[in-house]
């Protein structure tokens, strides 16, 4: 069940079609893509790497990304893609943790990483002589791989400690791909644009486009000229984006409105999409282009979804509660919400989201205790809190670690954030819990103003009009911007540090 069979089949059915492209031109057809991957597989085997070993990827976006991944898979290896914006010491940790003896790195990363690693791991610079030498061998046949063999180590963000590698098997990746093909409709008959890092959701969703023999257009970095060039040359294009990027794409400084028709579908997820932001996106792009997905590295991209027709239905009904949901279970996935005791919750009752199916990871790499805690009785316990309604729609309220317990009552920051974003003077906000001598914890809001900063009384009035008094933030901290990861997720841990630094 080697996931590289996706490329093998595509090379048979779409040999002369575009497979990998830059914003300006096609770089490889499927026939050439398969040949390059097979030569790389031979080169990796000749360099002493045996099936089952790990190969690390410290790479910015480029068409070589898929060459490396599929070449490694064809050799029976497991890839460990890493966030290209990590610090060199964070790269070094993940490489050591995975046991990788070889790391592919783009020129912007390779020199510093090689200096940091020394003899601990060989660094091959993309485009360099050592890289090209790996393609000098005759093409090798694909190595067979068991379905439960590791294919992708997905390293978590590490916001609550050292990152852990979620072990995604060939079966996991195939289940993810088949589920996406079942649920995404005809948009996979067009092409995909990778404007988000290939190390995460964008690279994963692209596997379905390889399966269909479609063009993967790779954006080196998110910027107006390259983005518009790609849309002009390869439309219609679909792409994955986090909500932060979806908001940015509504600004003419990043994407001129006349390019919107070139977009087939925007798959968004990876962070909360607030109701007001979703309404703005629907007005700007049209609901037919919006497709929300909910997943996590441990169940890659595949837990629940809101396709365009369900978003449109909620908008037409004025159903903000439904708009605030993450939709219905994905194909091939069993989904439930459970109490602390592990019992299924009743509709409307908040509990932990649990998921089961072939898409769920095998466990965490070399973390038996963490694996046993995450997967219990065949169910992945996600750490996300939410509830199911009577119709089977899932609404997330927060991460369990972000829930605030004030005077014995649970407060979910997202509920407060949704209300604050109703105020026209607020561009972005994030709520955290801070220690309080009387109540244990109280909510505090960090706010980015869209213009002149209003008095806090205006926010208090808004919250008291929509929320119980105990949920009202005790303070509003105005900031120029909220700290975010390279994928656009707001880093509440950094906000907690910022609050602590205030004394």
Q: Retrieve residue 447's tokens.
A: 């706010």
Q: What share of the chain is helix, strand, coil (3-state, %, to 5)?
A: 35, 25, 35
Q: Do domains 5-388 and 406-501 have the same CATH topology?
A: no
Token pair 């070589």 in the structure block, residue? 64
Token pair 């096609």 in the structure block, residue? 26
Torsion of CA 240, 243, 249, 251, to 10 degrees: 180
The residues spanned by each domain of the chain are 5-388, 406-501
Question: Angle at Cα 274 formed by Cα 270 and Cα 275, nearest 5°?
Answer: 135
Task: Give the model's pLDDT for residue 159.
Answer: 45
Q: How far apart are CA 399 and CA 157, in angstroms?
A: 14
**101: exposed, middle or buried (C-beta count within 10 Å: 0-12, 13-18, 19+)?**
middle
Cβ partners under 8 Å of residue 12, min gap 6: none
Task: Give the model's pLDDT for residue 146.
Answer: 96
Task: Give the model's pLDDT for residue 83.
Answer: 87
Question: Would you give per-residue pLDDT tens digits along the chain (503 residues)?
Answer: 899 999 999 999 999 999 999 999 999 999 999 999 999 999 999 999 999 999 999 999 999 999 999 999 999 999 999 989 888 988 999 999 999 999 999 999 999 999 999 999 999 999 999 999 999 999 999 999 999 999 999 998 654 467 899 999 999 999 999 999 999 988 888 999 999 999 999 999 999 999 999 999 999 999 999 999 999 999 999 999 988 899 999 999 999 999 999 999 999 998 889 899 999 999 999 999 999 999 999 999 999 999 999 999 999 999 999 999 999 999 999 999 999 888 999 999 999 999 999 999 999 999 999 999 999 999 999 999 999 999 999 999 888 788 898 877 778 888 899 999 999 999 999 999 998 887 888 999 999 998 888 888 999 999 999 888 889 999 999 999 999 876 677 888 899 999 988 76
Beta bridge partners of 26: 21
Among residues 330, 322, 338, 346, the alpha carbon closest in space to that of 383 is found at 338
Q: How far apart are CA 42 and CA 52, in angstroms?
A: 15
Cβ partners under 8 Å of residue 396, min gap 6: 272, 294, 326, 353, 384, 385, 386, 414
Task: Give the model's pLDDT for residue 486.
Answer: 65
Q: How far apart are CA 124 and CA 108, in angstroms?
A: 12
Task: Give the model's pLDDT for residue 503.
Answer: 63
**160: exposed, middle or buried (C-beta count within 10 Å: 0-12, 13-18, 19+)?**
exposed
CATH among 3.30.9.10, 3.40.50.12780, 3.30.70.20, 3.10.450.50 for 5-388 = 3.40.50.12780
Torsion of CA 302, 306, 308, 309, to 10 degrees: 130
Q: Is 383 left (phi over 0), alpha (psi -120 to 50) or beta?
A: left
Q: Where are the beta strands (DSSP E) in 340-450?
A: 351-356, 363-364, 375-376, 379-388, 394-399, 404-406, 409-411, 426-436, 440-449
Give the phi and the psi of residue 488 in degrees, each rounded to 5: 90, 5
Cβ partners under 8 Å of residue 200, min gap 6: 81, 83, 154, 270, 297, 487
Peptide linkage before 384 cis (omega within 30 of 0): no
Tell me the fold of 406-501: GMP Synthetase; Chain A, domain 3 (3.30.300)
DSSP 401: G
Give the phi and the psi of residue 112 in degrees, each rounded to 5: -65, -35
């Amino acid at each position: 069940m080697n996931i590289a069979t996706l490329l093998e089949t595509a090379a048979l059915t779409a040999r002369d079609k575009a497979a990998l492209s830059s914003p300006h031109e096609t770089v490889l057809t499927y026939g050439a893509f398969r040949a390059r991957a097979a030569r790389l597989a031979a080169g990796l085997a000749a360099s002493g790497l045996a099936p089952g070993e790990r190969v690390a990827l410290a790479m910015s976006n480029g068409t070589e990304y898929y060459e490396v991944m599929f070449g490694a898979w064809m050799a029976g290896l497991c890839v460990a893609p890493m966030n290209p914006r990590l610090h060199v010491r964070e790269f070094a940790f993940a490489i050591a943790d995975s046991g990788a003896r070889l790391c592919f790195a783009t020129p912007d990363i390779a020199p510093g990483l090689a200096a940091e690693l020394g003899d601990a791991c060989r660094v091959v610079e993309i485009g360099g002589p050592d890289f090209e030498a790996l393609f000098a061998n005759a093409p090798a046949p694909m190595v067979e791989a068991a379905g439960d063999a590791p294919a992708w180590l997905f390293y978590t963000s590490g916001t609550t400690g050292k990152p852990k590698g979620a072990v995604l098997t060939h079966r996991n990746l195939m289940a993810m791909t088949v589920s996406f093909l079942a649920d995404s409709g005809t948009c996979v008959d067009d092409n995909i644009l990778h404007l988000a890092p290939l190390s995460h959701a964008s690279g994963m969703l692209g596997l379905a486009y390889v399966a269909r023999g479609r063009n993967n257009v790779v954006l080196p970095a998110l910027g107006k000229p390259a983005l518009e060039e790609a849309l002009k040359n390869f439309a219609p294009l679909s792409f994955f984006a986090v909500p932060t990027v979806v908001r940015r794409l509504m600004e003419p400084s990043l994407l001129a409105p006349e390019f919107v028709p070139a977009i087939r579908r925007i798959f968004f997820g990876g962070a909360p999409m607030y109701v007001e932001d979703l309404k703005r996106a629907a007005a700007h792009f049209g609901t037919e282009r919006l497709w929300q997905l909910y997943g996590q590295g441990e169940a890659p991209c595949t837990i629940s979804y809101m396709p365009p027709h369900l978003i449109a239905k909620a908008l037409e009904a004025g159903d903000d509660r439904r708009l605030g949901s993450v939709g219905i279970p994905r194909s091939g996935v069993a989904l439930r919400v459970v109490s602390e005791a592990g019992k299924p919750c009743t509709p409307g009752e908040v509990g932990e989201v649990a998921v089961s199916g072939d898409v769920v990871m095998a466990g965490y790499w070399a973390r038996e205790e963490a694996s046993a805690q995450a997967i219990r009785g065949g169910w992945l316990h996600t750490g996300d809190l939410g509830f199911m309604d009577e119709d089977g729609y899932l609404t997330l309220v927060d991460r369990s670690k972000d829930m605030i317990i004030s005077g014995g009552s649970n407060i979910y920051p997202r509920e407060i954030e949704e209300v604050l974003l109703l105020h026209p003077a607020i561009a972005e906000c994030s709520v955290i819990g801070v220690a309080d001598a009387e109540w244990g914890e109280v909510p505090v809001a960090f706010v980015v103003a869209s213009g002149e900063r209003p008095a806090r009384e205006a926010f208090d009035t808004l919250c008291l009009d929509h929320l119980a008094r105990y949920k009202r933030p005790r303070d509003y901290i105005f900031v120029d911007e909220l700290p975010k990861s390279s994928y656009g997720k707001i880093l509440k841990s950094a906000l907690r540090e910022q609050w602590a630094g205030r004394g």
